[in-house]
Amino acid sequence: MKAFKKFTGLVAPLDKPNVDTDQIIPKQFLKAIVRSGLGAGLFYDWRSKPDNSDFVLNQPRFKGASVLVARANFGCGSSREHAVWALDDFGFKAVIAPSFADIFRNNSLKNGFLPIVLTAEQVDHIFKAVAREEGYSLHIDLSAQTVSDESGWSARFEIEPFQKKCLLEGLDEIALTLHHEKEIGAYEAKHPVPYPRA
Amino acid sequence: MAAQTLFEKIWNSHVVQQEAGQPALLFIDLHLIHEVTSPQAFEGLRTAGRKVRAIERTFATLDHNIPTTDRSLPITDPESARQLEAMRQNCRDFGVLLFDLGAREQGIVHIIGPELGLTQPGMTIVCGDSHTSTHGAFGALAFGVGTSEVEHVLATQCLWQARPKTLEIRVNGKLGAGVTAKDLILAIIGKIGTAGATGCAIEYRGPTIEAFSMEERMTVCNMSIEAGARAGMISPDRTTVEYLRGRPYVPKGAEFERMAERWLGLATDSGARFDRNVAIDAASIAPQVTWGTNPGMVVEVTSRVPDPQKYADPAEQRAAEQALAYMGLKPSTPITDIKIDRVFIGSCTNGRLSDLQAAAAMVGGRKVAPSVHAMVVPGSQQVKLDAEAAGLDKIFKAAGFEWRESGCSMCLGMNPDVLKPGERCASTSNRNFEGRQGKGGRTHLVSPAMAAAAAIEGHFVDVRNWR
C-alpha cells in the first residue's frame, strides 16, 4: 500500500447524504480485471447526465480537487472496492463526511485513502466555506489527526492507532499478518476443515 | 461463565491473535468468491508470489456477470467473457474449486453456500459481496468485504477486524396473511434507517423469527447491510439443523448429530446482554413498497408516496424531493396507483424455491398484464430444477413470465438484464439505488407475492385482499 502523506488540496462539495457505491462507480465499470483506470467511471451517471453541468465534478472551479466532502453515510451499499479505486484514480486522496458505511471505510484504509469523520457541524462549516470562497483548500495531516484551512480553522478527527500506523507507513497488511504464521498454524491445527473430503 | 450472545461465542472462538486496544486477527472458516470482486485479489497474490492458503475452505462460482439466457450460447459481451475467463484461470492456477456455468451447483453465491451445506452455524464466513450477511441466518458471523480483504483472506485465511457492537432486533407477534419476511426486513430498515445499524452485528430474535423457515431467515439477514449492519444473524435451532441435514458438505450419521449438538449450543444464552435493543411488532406490518432511491424510503402498500413538504428536516426534505424527481413520482400518489413496466423475481434476497412458490401461488392461471415485461430468475440451478420438478416454470411461462437461468441478473444489472431509462420495475431484489437496475431505471422493492400480483395487474396491489 502507498503511504499517506500530509497534503493541502482543493475541496469539492457533494451535498448529499447516503451516497451509495452504485453512484460512485456504476456497474458497467465492474467488469474490469485490473485496479487502474477507474477514474473515468467515477460518478459516471451523474457526470454524464445531460444538462448536468452544475454537478460538482463538472464545474471547472473544482477541477483538480483532491478532498471530497459529503453528508452522512457516505459509501453505503455494495462492497465494491472499485469505488475507492475510482476516487483515488480520479485524484482524490481523502473524503470528509459525518459518517461512512463500514465496508467503504475498510476498503479506503486498505488503499492509502483517508475517510475522515467530522461532526455534522464541522462538515457544514466546510460546505459553507467552499460556497463562500473559490479555491477553498484544506490541509490534511494524518500524524496530527487534523484538518485545517488557511483562515486558522481546524478540526481534529479520530482514527484507530493500528490503522493510522498502517496508513502512515504504507504497510503491506498481508506481510504483517504472515508474521503471525505460528499462531495461524496453531489455530488451524485445532480447528480442522469442517467439510467431508470430496 | 457469564451469559453470552451468539455473536460473542463466535467472535471469541475465532480470535487468532489480539493485542489490547488493537483489532483482532480473526480466523475465517469459509471464503466464497465470485468473478467480479476477485480478479484484482488474485493478481495481487501473483505479484507478491503468494498462494491460496486454504483451498479446502475456498469456493468459487460465477453469478454476477453472466447471462441468464441459453447457457449453450457464447457470451456476447467481450468484457464479461474476459472476466469469467479470468475467474476460471485463477481457479485453475491457484487450485480453487469453481462451480462453473453448466455445473449443477452453480448459482448466486449466497444461495449456493447454504444449499450445499458449506454455510454452517458457528462459522466465520466472508465474500467480496455485501449480501454475505445472508449466511448469518444459520448462526454464522458472515460479512461482506472488499477486494483487498479478499486477497488478505486468500493469502492468510484471516482478517484484522475491529469488534462490532451487538444489536438485538426482537420481533414479537405474528405476521399477517400475505405479509412476508421481505416486508418485515423492509419495515425494519424503514424504522431504523439505512445507517441505523452501522458498526453493529444484528441478531434477529423473538417468536416471529423462531417460527420462520431458513429461507425466510435468509431473506431477513440478507438485507441487514441495507440497514448499514456489519452482519445479521439468527441463533441456530432445530429448524437450522433440519435444513442442513443431508446437504452435500455436511457430515452424515453420528458425526452430524455431534455437530448439531454443538450448533445448538451456540444460541444466545438467556440473560445475555446486547449493546442496543430494538423491538418490532410483526402484527402491525403491512406489505411494503419502496418509493425512493434507498431501501429506507419505504411505505405500506395501503399508503401514499410521501410529500417532502411534510418533512421537518430540510436535508431529508431535499433527499425526498430528489428521490421523487428521479423516480418520476408525484407526492401523495396512492401506492396502488403506481403503474409498472417490468417485474423482476429473483436475487439472493428472494430467489429461493419458497419465493418462487409464493409468486406462482399469486399467478395461478392468470396472465401478465400486456404492458408488463416480467421475468423469473431462479437463484441457483438447484432452485431451478426444484421449481421445474414442482411445475412452477409452467405456471410462470403460461402467464407470460420469462423463465431464466440462475444468476444475479437484474438485481445489479451487470449482465444484459437491465431496465431502460425511465422504466419502472417491481423487483424482489435488495437495492433501489439510482441506476441500480439500469441507468435511469426506477426500482420499487417488494416481496415475491407483491411482485407477481403487480405483474398481473400492471400496478401495485395489496395482496392481502387481492382477488
User: Is the pLDDT score of A197 beyond 80?
Assistant: no
B442 interface with A at CB cutoff 8 Å: no
User: Is the pLDDT score of B464 beyond 60?
Assistant: yes
Report CB contact under 8 Å: A23, B435.
Answer: yes
Over range B128-144, report the average pLDDT. Answer: 98
Report CB contact under 8 Å: A20, B128.
Answer: no
Report CB contact under 8 Å: B37, A79.
Answer: yes
User: Is the pLDDT score of B1 beyond 90?
Assistant: no
Report CB contact under 8 Å: B433, A191.
Answer: no
Compare CB distances from A81 to B54, B147, B249 and report the shortest one's residue. Answer: B147
- Vertex B353: Cα angle to B235 and B447 (nearest 5): 80
The strand pair at A154-156 and B124-127 is best described as unpaired
pLDDT band at A116 (very low <50, low <70, confident <90, very high): very high
User: Is the pLDDT score of A196 beyond 90?
Assistant: no
pLDDT tens string B213-252 = 999 999 999 999 999 999 999 999 999 999 999 999 999 9
pLDDT band at A49 (very low <50, low <70, confident <90, very high): confident
Report CB contact under 8 Å: A162, B120.
Answer: no
ipTM confidence score: 0.96
pLDDT band at A50 (very low <50, low <70, confident <90, very high): confident
Q: Residues, chain A, total?
A: 198
Question: Given this model, what pLDDT does residue B330 score?
Answer: 98
Report CB contact under 8 Å: A77, B431.
Answer: yes
Which positions 261-290 of B are in contact with A (Cβ < 8 Å)? none
Q: Chain A closest CA to B464's CA: distance in Å?
A: 31
Give CA–CA dist A92/B435, Å, rounded. Answer: 23
SS (H, E, C) chain A: CCCCCCEEEEEEEECCCCCEHHHHCCHHHHHCCCCCCHHHHCCHHHHHCCCCCCCHHHCHHHCCCCEEEECCCECECCCCCHHHHHHHHHCCCEEEECCECHHHHHHHHCCCCEEEECCHHHHHHHHHHHHHCCCCEEEEECCCCEEECCCCCEEECCCCHHHHHHHHHCCCHHHHHHCCHHHHHHHHHHCCCCCCCC
pLDDT tens string B395-436 = 999 999 999 999 999 999 999 999 999 999 999 999 999 999
Between the CA of residue A34 and those of A105, B236, B376, what are the distances in Å? 21, 40, 33
B81 interface with A at CB cutoff 8 Å: no
Question: Given this model, what pLDDT does residue B219 score?
Answer: 98
Over range A40-69, report the average pLDDT. Answer: 94
Give CA–CA dist B353/B30, Å, rounded. Answer: 24
Over range A29-45, report the average pLDDT. Answer: 96
pLDDT tens string A143-178 = 999 999 999 999 999 999 999 999 999 998 999 999
Beta-bridge partners for B339? B459
- Vertex B337: Cα angle to B335 and B342 (nearest 5): 90
**% pLDDT > 70, chain A:** 99
pLDDT tens string B23-40 = 999 999 999 999 999 999
Burial class (CB in 10 A: 0-12, 13-18, 19+), B386: middle
Average pLDDT, chain A: 96
Using a CB-CB cut-off of 8 Å, the residues of chain B touching A77 are 130, 225, 431, 433
Q: At what angle do helices B381-389 and B109-116 cross, to 10 degrees?
A: 70
pLDDT band at A198 (very low <50, low <70, confident <90, very high): low
Question: Given this model, what pLDDT does residue B467 score?
Answer: 81
Give CA–CA dist B339/B425, Å, rounded. Answer: 9
Question: Given this model, what pLDDT does residue B13 score?
Answer: 98
Compare CB distances from B249 to A76, A172, A195 and report the shortest one's residue. Answer: A195
Q: Chain B closest CA to A86's CA: distance in Å?
A: 14
Over range B434-448, report the average pLDDT. Answer: 97
pLDDT tens string B301-345 = 999 999 999 999 888 899 999 999 999 999 999 999 999 999 999
**% pLDDT > 70, chain B:** 100
Burial class (CB in 10 A: 0-12, 13-18, 19+), B371: exposed
B178 interface with A at CB cutoff 8 Å: no
Give CA–CA dist A58/B139, Å, rounded. Answer: 47
Nearest chain A alpha carbon to B128:
A79
Given a contact cutoff of 8 angstroms between Cβ atoms, the answer to whether A7 and A61 are in contact is no
Which positions 304-363 of B are in contact with A (Cβ < 8 Å)? 315, 319, 322
Over range B120-136, report the average pLDDT. Answer: 98
Report CB contact under 8 Å: B433, A22.
Answer: yes
Give CA–CA dist B244/B239, Å, rounded. Answer: 9
Q: What is the pTM of this model?
A: 0.97
pLDDT tens string B153-203 = 999 999 999 999 999 999 999 999 999 999 999 999 999 999 999 999 999
Q: Chain A closest CA to B429's CA: distance in Å?
A: 13
Using a CB-CB cut-off of 8 Å, the residues of chain B touching A115 are none
Give CA–CA dist B147/A127, Å, rounded. Answer: 32
Report CB contact under 8 Å: B228, A195.
Answer: no
Average pLDDT, chain B: 97
